[in-house]
Every structure is written in structure tokens, then in C-alpha cells.
């Protein structure tokens, strides 16, 4: 993707208006100002482009450069996500602490997946096999209970030319796919996906079993199904967050993803303090 270069025209809180970003599209990721603050195109009106900045805009000035990436805001997917703590930009909070201390500096960029960690990859296909998007080409044992399946990326199909078993980083090539047009496409453990586009699926599995939450009052009177959705409405101080934390702690799920959106600081501190100390009754290991 080619970069576009513009300049800040005015700033209003987290909303930045830039001009000169020719070719920009709604949803494109941008870098704003000298610190290269991350932002996103939210509106285009003639030569003016409205940007939502996802970091503190204090100190930005009209005239500073805005660089458009020509691509949407992307999430990094691959082995290593399990067990991590991320902020809203998929930056590891632990790595941010190591780099900047308790007060996070603006403009800091950290790869979501560790580039120095190696993963044991076991192929599930062999050279000469025909594959298409969503097919499993191999697996990585990400944890004692989580088998990470490596899929053919969306939009690709072809014949496996080569595939290797062994220990790889997320940036290493694990296989080469020959597309119908003759292109040789390297496949890696890491993939990228636009954050505002839902991941596709081949079929929706019917809901046929309950999720045991560990809370008898919920499991008896308000049962929740695996694959289903539940809501906890209520006023201030009525126990919504505590109930959610209890379900996350004790439900019979292999993977728990806790999203603290709009939570109080003390509630998140409690989660980050107590969750790592909880023991999974099925494995006897820490969650």
C-alpha cells in the first residue's frame, strides 16, 4: 500500500482534521504528528479528512505531518495471544511497562506477538495437497490446553509446494503455496486482519450444550448456552462487574477473553491481580 502525506489543519480533542491526504479512504489507519500517534479516518469531506486519534493529542499543532498507511487498522493474529494483556491498540501492557514504566509514553509501538519466541509447528498437509481458505495446514500447541490451528489465509487457494515441521518464529515461512495464477505465496504463523471486518466462518455450529458458569443461581434460573450470548443489565453498584468476573473465573470454558471496556481502574487492577493466581480445576494449572 502506498503512503499518503497530509498536514494537520485543526484539532478538537481526539478529533483531528487534516488536509492533503489524497487517496485516503474511510477506515484507513494514519500516523499523526511528529510522535506518529495512531489514528483512523472517520470522515472525508472534499480535501478535508477527519481523523479519530487513539492517543492523547496534547501538544499536536496545525501543520504537523499526517501519514496515511493506505490500509485499514489491522489486528495481528497468531500464536502468542493467549495469556497476554493488551490495550485497545493490541499493544502488550507488560511489554509497555518494561519499555516505558507505569506512565505510557505516546507514540510507542510494540508488536503484539513476540518475535523472539519459537513455536513447535506440526504439519497437517503435505506437498502436493490442494488447499483453500480456512483449511488447517498445521497446528501449534500454544498452551497445555490450547491447540492453535494454522489456517490458509482468507482469499487464498492453491497447491502446497513445500511445508516444514520444526520450531519457528511467527515471521518464519512454514509453507509455500502455489496459487492458480502461478504465484508462490509464503505462509507464516502470523496473519493480519482488518479490525472492523468480522472474521468469516464456514458454518455456524448449532447450540446444543450449556455453559456451566459455576454460579448455581445462573445455571438454574438463567442458563447460558455455549456459543450463545447473555447480558447483565443493572444500575450502578448492583454487581454487574462482579458477576462478570465470577463467570470469567469459574465457567467451563477453555479460553476466557476479558474485555474491560469502561471499567474502573480498581476493578481492572483486581482482575489483573487475581486472575493469574486462579487454578483451573480441570488442568490443575494457573488460568
Mean pLDDT, consecutive 10-residue stretches, the chain (287 aa), reads: 82 94 90 94 93 93 93 94 89 89 87 93 96 95 90 95 96 96 96 93 88 91 90 86 83 84 79 77 70
User: Where do the domains of the chain lie?
Assistant: 4-72, 74-202, 210-277
Residue entry with cell 495471544: 81
Architecture of domain 4-72: Beta Barrel (2.40)
Cβ–Cβ < 8 Å for 226, 210: yes
Burial of 74 (0-12, 13-18, 19+ CB in 10 A): middle
Cβ–Cβ < 8 Å for 256, 243: no
The candidate with the shortest Cα–Cα distance to 172, out of 117, 214, 220, is 117
How many angstroms separate the CA atoms of 32 and 51, rounded? Answer: 9
How many angstroms separate the CA atoms of 195 and 40, rounded? Answer: 11
C-alpha cell at 137: 495446514
User: What backbone torsions phi and psi does residue 106 show, to the nearest 5 degrees?
Assistant: -75, 150
How many angstroms separate the CA atoms of 91 and 13, rounded? Answer: 23
Tell which phi-psi region holds residue 128, choosing left (phi > 0), alpha (psi between -120 and 50) or beta. left
pTM (two decimals)? 0.83
| pLDDT at position 1 | 53
Q: Which residues lie across from 191 on neighbouring strands?
A: 77
DSSP label at residue 27: T
Task: Give the 3-state secondary structure of residue 22.
Answer: coil
User: What backbone torsions phi and psi does residue 147 show, to the nearest 5 degrees?
Assistant: -100, 115
For domain 74-202, give the fold. OB fold (Dihydrolipoamide Acetyltransferase, E2P) (2.40.50)
Amino acid at each position: 500500500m502506498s503512503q499518503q502525506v497530509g498536514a494537520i489543519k485543526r484539532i478538537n480533542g481526539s478529533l483531528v482534521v487534516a488536509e492533503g491526504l489524497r487517496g485516503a479512504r474511510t477506515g484507513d489507519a494514519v500516523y499523526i504528528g511528529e510522535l506518529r500517534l495512531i489514528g483512523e479516518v472517520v470522515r472525508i469531506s472534499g480535501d478535508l479528512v477527519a481523523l479519530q486519534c487513539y492517543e492523547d493529542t496534547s501538544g499536536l499543532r496545525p501543520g504537523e505531518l499526517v501519514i496515511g498507511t493506505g490500509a485499514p487498522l489491522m489486528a495481528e493474529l497468531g500464536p502468542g495471544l493467549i495469556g497476554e494483556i493488551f490495550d485497545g491498540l493490541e499493544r502488550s501492557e507488560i511489554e509497555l511497562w518494561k519499555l516505558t514504566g507505569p506512565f505510557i509514553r505516546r507514540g510507542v509501538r510494540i508488536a503484539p506477538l513476540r518475535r523472539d519466541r519459537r513455536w513447535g509447528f506440526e504439519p497437517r498437509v503435505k506437498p502436493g495437497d490442494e488447499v483453500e481458505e480456512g483449511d488447517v495446514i498445521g497446528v501449534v500447541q500454544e498452551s497445555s490446553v490450547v491447540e492453535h490451528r494454522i489456517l490458509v489465509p482468507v482469499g487464498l487457494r492453491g497447491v502446497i509446494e513445500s511445508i516444514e515441521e520444526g520450531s519457528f518464529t511467527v515471521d518464519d515461512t512454514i509453507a509455500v503455496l502455489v496459487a492458480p495464477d502461478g504465484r508462490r505465496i509464503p505462509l507464516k504463523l502470523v496473519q493480519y486482519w482488518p479490525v472492523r471486518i468480522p472474521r468469516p466462518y464456514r458454518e455456524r455450529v448449532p447450540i446444543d450444550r450449556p455453559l456451566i458458569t459455576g454460579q448455581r443461581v445462573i445455571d438454574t434460573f438463567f442458563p447460558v448456552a455455549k456459543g450463545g450470548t447473555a447480558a447483565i443489565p443493572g444500575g450502578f453498584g448492583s454487581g454487574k462487574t462482579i458477576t462478570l468476573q465470577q463467570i470469567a473465573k469459574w465457567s467451563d470454558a477453555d479460553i476466557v477473553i476479558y474485555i474491560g471496556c469502561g471499567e474502573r481502574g480498581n476493578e481492572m487492577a483486581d482482575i489483573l491481580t487475581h486472575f493469574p493466581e486462579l487454578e483451573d480445576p480441570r488442568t490443575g494449572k494457573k488460568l
